A and B are shown apart, each in its own frame.
Chain A
Amino acid sequence: MICGDESAAAHADDGCGGWSEEMESRGVVTGAAGLRPPDEATTLRVREGELLLTDGPFAETKEQIGGFVLIDCADLDEAIEIAAKHPAAGYGTIEIRPLLEPPV
């Protein structure tokens, strides 16, 4: 997940400087999307059967998730290598999360 503060919006149209091409040719990217800014977010929770809607992101932190890339790679070291090459690692933060594996 790619995170950044408001200043990261300035990089929205920068492109990825060859990163996408390299990762696609390696076949590690299985999905990706950028996200609209957090002030357009709607957060929801259901508590005791009641739907609770909030305008805005789920956590009031300075850095917000701005997009995600789904990758399929050998191990965490490869994931770190791929994430570290992404240009957003230079101005934002990237969080690596394993996918929840469906029960066997």
Chain B
Amino acid sequence: MTFEEIYRQEWGQVVATLIRLTGDWELAEECAQEAFAAALQRWPADGVPDRPGAWLTTTARNRAIDWLRREAVGAAKLREAAAIESDQEPPYDVPDDRLRLMFTCCHPALAMEARVALTLRTLAGLSTAEIARAFLVPETTMSKRLTRAKQKIQHAGIPYRVPPAHLLPQRTPAVLAVLYLLFNEGYSDVVRSNLTGEAIRLARLLVHLMPDEPEATGLLALMLMHDARRDTRLSPDGALVTLDDQDRTRWDHAQIAEGVALLDAALLRNEPGPYQIQAAIAACHATARTAPDTDWPQIAALYAQLPQTPVVALNRAVAIGMADGPAVGLRLVEALTADPLTTYHLLPATRADFLRRLGRRTEATAAYREALTLATTDAERRYLEKRLREVSVRG
């Protein structure tokens, strides 16, 4: 394993353990950083220890004890240092530590943007500069956001723990939502695609820590199946390539198989939820050999089981239209005029697609134009321009 790989794998555990031992988030991060710096200095000469994580945690713990001693103005800090020291070996790889950290970072009393930033910093080990770049804010802004979040945890008394069983049904979705948001941020923008990798890594960790939570497994399956199509989503000139035009031989079929297996295992528990349903939809797409082989009636039935947000209703209309013909689809899409959709480019774009399939070119042209004014990324605009040229051609 390279040092980078060890860092990625062990950072979260070291920080999580140190927070439990010291109760101080800033100190935990600083000591973890010093431990990795020490490793970088020592390992090239001494060799990588058998259990690098244990070595790093012990080193970080000793730094914390030194610091508490140095700062010991009162007996309390000394007692704290002694208490940490009396733990002979820091119980390394207590799975609970990282799960504690995950639930604390994703506590609903923190703003969503703070939860995301804190998860990336303390658990995934991204630097403040990296997180700032990923969310397109200045580094000082991100640094303040992280400090404020840590202060709120400390002062408001957000407990460092895995919530008790009766709170889990409301708190687990909060953790899943953070990971899903992270994935989508990366997925919707090629520039920030490293976020999808982080989201998958964190989802794997969560599944490892909560093997009995089928929604966590469903979320991981969903991410894997979407991510398997990553390389085919853009044409060489940077235009969005829709599912039916993607080169399916270039999908990552091993990753799809892993996603399907995870989903099947989750569904066996018979506790369906929105992530498992979305993963089942992704599986319908990912396992269809060709676009016309897609099981659209099944997809429409799955969308019907999700909470009917305007976007879900639109996707359901698309699936029904693909199953029962563009005339049916168009009627359903035209009935959707919900407020949040009026600025959503996929509403006119979907209408345009059905009109195009029906050969109603003039109306399709107008609808593609409308979609173009609402599109938010260059990839979407390039795709829509391509379609617009196709329907505008006389013939």
Contacts and interface: CB of A to CB of B under 8 A. Distances in A.
Interface string A60-104: 000000000000001111011000000000000000101001001
A96 B156 contact: yes
A79 B157 CA distance: 9
B74 A76 contact: no
B165 interface: no
Nearest to B158: A76
Interface size bracket, A side: 10 to 19
B109 interface: yes
A75 B159 contact: yes
A80 B74 contact: no
A101 B158 CA distance: 16
B74 A77 contact: no
B310 interface: no
B109 A98 contact: no
Contacts of B167: 77
A80 to B, nearest CB: 7
Interface in B139-185: 155-159, 163, 167
B168 to A, nearest CB: 12
B156 A98 contact: yes
Contacts of B163: 77
The interface centre, meaning the residue of A74, A76, A96 with most chain B CB atoms within 10 A of its CB, is A76
A68 B55 CA distance: 50
Chain A interface SS verdict (over half): loop
Interface residues of B, number: 10
Contacts of B74: 104
B109 A80 contact: yes
Nearest to A97: B156
Nearest to A101: B155
A98 B107 CA distance: 16
Contacts of A96: 156
A98 B155 contact: yes
Nearest to A77: B159
Interface string B66-78: 0000000010000
Contacts of B155: 98, 101
Contacts of A80: 109
A75 B109 CA distance: 12
The interface centre, meaning the residue of A74, A75, A77 with most chain B CB atoms within 10 A of its CB, is A77
A99 B368 CA distance: 56
B74 to A, nearest CB: 7
Contacts of A75: 157-159
Contact of B159 (A76, A98, A101, A104): A76
B44 to A, nearest CB: 43
Interface string A14-26: 0000000000000
B109 A74 contact: no
B31 to A, nearest CB: 22
A74 B156 contact: no
Contacts of B157: 74-76, 79, 98
Nearest to A100: B155
A104 B155 CA distance: 15
A71 to B, nearest CB: 11
A101 B163 CA distance: 26
Contacts of A74: 157, 159
A74 B158 CA distance: 10
The interface centre, meaning the residue of B74, B156, B163, B167 with most chain A CB atoms within 10 A of its CB, is B156
Contacts of B158: 75-77
Contacts of A101: 155
Contacts of A77: 158-159, 163, 167
A77 B103 CA distance: 12
23 contacts: A74-B157, A74-B159, A75-B157, A75-B158, A75-B159, A76-B107, A76-B109, A76-B156, A76-B157, A76-B158, A76-B159, A77-B158, A77-B159, A77-B163, A77-B167, A79-B157, A80-B109, A96-B156, A98-B155, A98-B156, A98-B157, A101-B155, A104-B74
CB-CB nearest 7 A-B residue pairs: A75-B159, A75-B157, A76-B157, A76-B158, A98-B155, A98-B156, A76-B156
Given A74-B157, A79-B157, A101-B155, 6 more contacts: A76-B156, A76-B159, A77-B167, A96-B156, A98-B155, A98-B156
